[in-house]
Amino acid sequence: MSSILVVGSVGYDTISTPKGHRTHILGGSANYFSIAASLFTPVRVVGVVGEDYKPEHMRILEQRKVDLRGLQQVKGRTFAWEGQYENDMNEAKTLATHLNVLENFHPVIPKEYQDSEVVFLANIDPTLQLQVLEQCVKPTLIAADTMNYWISSKKSELLKVLKKIDVLLINEAELRELTGSWNTIRAAKDVMQMGPKAVVIKRGEYGFILFTDTRYFILPAYPVEEVVDPTGAGDTFAGGFLGYLAKNNKALNREDLKQACIYGCMLASFTVQDFGVEGVLRVTQSELENRIQAYKHVIS
């Protein structure tokens, strides 16, 4: 069992969906990821929060044995995002992004984390993602996420990141922007040429595509009858995906990657059933296994 190092945002979200509204709830890619991955293996977080970050939110993660020694608390306010989902729930409209303490963040990997073998570079500035990799002494499995903002503003740094990672997790809109291709299959092949050994394309309610060398594996998502809030589904997917691989000390073989995708996809289905991290926070190992069984019936 390997520990996972995750570097990403830790913050507060204000979210409106057709199912309701929540103000200043726990969010951030590193939080979703850690909560999901900690179902499988110990997780180490690197990030930054401000003075307003509530101790109870640290405790939620510490209770799950998530190591927060790499979470810097600095002067200023915590990163905050405001978003809104319309009826189709497929894309968030960002109403406001307050970078706050994230603006001057420089990731420092504590000595105790430097031997981390599995590393997840959540959606942050690719320049920072590169800084993280420089501090990791013996990573064996590196995965990364990104977003449209970095694809358009920091493409050359992002391309450097892609050359250094094993797995890229990306959604369809990002994939399109990164490659310029509207066809998902073709775009995935193009991304594989940029460096990663595997690409996982997250398709929201339509599931995922896993690309390894020239082969692909495609499955739908678990059918959720009431989607409450899709925020964090992608980071939850990544947490389940890498958590599964880290727990089982898996190499990048196709069968294990397939299983990892299914774990990620199932965990994400819990996230969307409630606001913020509530859905994934409640999941037990047995609920997760039950859902995987139910899923197998749906696709068999």
In the complex, the residues that contact its own copies under the rule CB under 8 A are 18, 87-89, 182-186, 189, 203, 205-207, 209, 215-220, 223-227, 297-300
Cα(291)–Cα(263) distance, rounded to whole angstroms?
Answer: 10
Nearest approach in angstroms of CB 300 to its own copies is 8
Q: Cβ contacts of residue 219 below 8 Å, gap of 6+?
A: 207, 208, 261, 262, 265, 299
Nearest approach in angstroms of CB 274 to its own copies is 15
Nearest approach in angstroms of CB 242 to its own copies is 23
Look up residue 227 and give its DSSP letter: -
Q: Cβ contacts of residue 158 below 8 Å, gap of 6+?
A: 126, 146, 150, 151, 178
Q: Residue ranges of the alpha helices (H) in the chain?
A: 29-37, 55-62, 126-135, 148-153, 155-164, 172-179, 184-192, 233-247, 254-271, 278-282, 285-299
Cα(16)–Cα(275) distance, rounded to whole angstroms?
Answer: 10
Nearest approach in angstroms of CB 183 to its own copies is 6
Q: Which residue lies nearer to its own copies by CB, 19 or 24?
A: 19
Q: Which residue lies nearer to its own copies by CB, 284 or 300?
A: 300
**CB neighbours of residue 296 within 10 Å:** 10
Q: Which residue lies nearer to its own copies by CB, 149 or 216?
A: 216
Cα(187)–Cα(74) distance, rounded to whole angstroms?
Answer: 40
Which residues pair with residue 212 across a beta bridge? Answer: 198, 215
Phi, psi of 236 (to 5 degrees): -65, -45
- Where residue 276 falls (left for φ over 0; alpha for ψ -120 to 50; beta otherwise) is left
Q: Which residue lies nearer to its own copies by CB, 61 or 201?
A: 201
Closest CA to 124 of 92, 79, 178, 89: 79
Cα(217)–Cα(201) distance, rounded to whole angstroms?
Answer: 10
Q: Which residue lies nearer to its own copies by CB, 149 or 206?
A: 206
Nearest approach in angstroms of CB 85 to its own copies is 10
Cα(148)–Cα(171) distance, rounded to whole angstroms?
Answer: 10
Nearest approach in angstroms of CB 162 to its own copies is 21
Nearest approach in angstroms of CB 215 to its own copies is 8
Q: Which residue lies nearer to its own copies by CB, 95 or 299?
A: 299
Q: Which residue lies nearer to its own copies by CB, 149 or 217?
A: 217
Position 275, amino acid: F
Nearest approach in angstroms of CB 173 to its own copies is 10
Q: Which residue lies nearer to its own copies by CB, 86 or 289?
A: 86
